Amino acid sequence: MVIDININQAGYGKDEPIIQNINFSIKEGELVGLLGPNGAGKSTTIKSILETIDYMDGSVQFWDDSMRYAYIPEQPVYYDELTLWEHIQFTASMCEMSEEKMKDRVQPLLEIFRLNKVIHELPVTFSKGMQQKLMIILAFLIKPNLYIIDEPFIGLDPKAMKDFLRLLEHERANGAGVLMSTHMLDTAERICDHFILMSEGEVIAQGTLENILKAAGSNNVVSLLDSFEILMERT
Ligand SMILES: Nc1ncnc2c1ncn2[C@@H]1O[C@H](COP(=O)(O)OP(=O)(O)OP(=O)(O)O)[C@@H](O)[C@H]1O
């Protein structure tokens, strides 16, 4: 087990809970998809896990204190005055990583994501996709126990997406867990082991694809998208 999440209520003010009764855990190597329409509460759930939410009643527990996570946000977050290389150095120093280890890990990533030529430039001059790649490189640099990824499928070009998923697969094989929020149900269906379907701040179904198809309860339901539509209609 990597993390156990039990959120009774959370939101942006104590009197107005936005999400309720969100309970799930993520095991080593598991990819859990957090799915739901706009406003369902996916980002609020992620903020609760990251403990950046204003109000939460519940608990978020890593299996042991030495575990750490990396968060890849949908909107890239960076320091305006630091270059790409300085971001890498700063992240490595926060993790007390040696310069040698940092270079070993980061060089292949810079090559894969084709950012070698801009290492001494400021991310503010990058395209959105390049900024997203910076977020991804920083996450893979620290090799966390848990990757928390908010909508990775918008902004990256097809090759970058393929490379990203391949690297993630490698991390999972080494025991990292992943929580990924997305609207891309066809891709989620292909890559996730577990699904959490949210609507209006609550979980309407969770489990394996088989569990979700079963919960939708129709013999004609063959895809995650179909099940989601049926389950949404019921709420
Ligand atoms: N900072 C905030 N203050 C108050 N309410 C907020 C805030 N951020 C989000 N909300 C509300 O919380 C609810 C859930 O929003 P959230 O961003 O968690 O949804 P989401 O599932 O991530 O949606 P999307 O797919 O559009 O990103 C929405 O009704 C939204 O208006």
100-122 pLDDT, tens digit each: 999 999 999 999 999 999 999 99
pLDDT computed for residue 83 by the predictor: 98
CA atoms of 217 and 16, how far apart (whole Å): 33
pLDDT computed for residue 153 by the predictor: 87
Whole-prediction pTM value? 0.95
b/e map 177-200, b = 16+ CB within 10 Å: bbbbbbebbebbbebbbbbbbbbe
ipTM of the complex: 0.98
State the residue for tokens 């090759």. Answer: 159
Provide the 10 A C-beta neighbour count for residue 58. Answer: 16
Give the domain ranges of the chain.
3-68+144-234, 78-142
Residue 124: what are its φ and ψ, rounded to 5°? -65, -25
**Atom 30 of ligand 1, residue of closest alpha carbon:** 39
Ligand 1: which of 15, 20, 22, 43 to mutate, judged by most atoms within 8 Å of the beta carbon? 43
Which residues have CB under 6 Å of ligand 1?
Answer: 12, 18, 36, 38-44
pLDDT computed for residue 115 by the predictor: 97
Of the chain, the percentage scoring pLDDT greater than 90 comes to 88
For residues 33 and 211, the answer to whether their CB atoms sit within 8 Å is no
What is the chain's mean pLDDT, rounded? Answer: 95
CATH of domain 3-68+144-234: 3.40.50.300
The pLDDT tens digits for 49-103 are: 999 999 999 999 999 888 999 999 999 999 999 999 999 999 999 999 999 999 9
pLDDT computed for residue 15 by the predictor: 84
Complete DSSP assignment for 72-123: E-SS----TTS-HHHHHHHHHHHTT--HHHHHHHHHHHHHHTT-GGGTTS-G
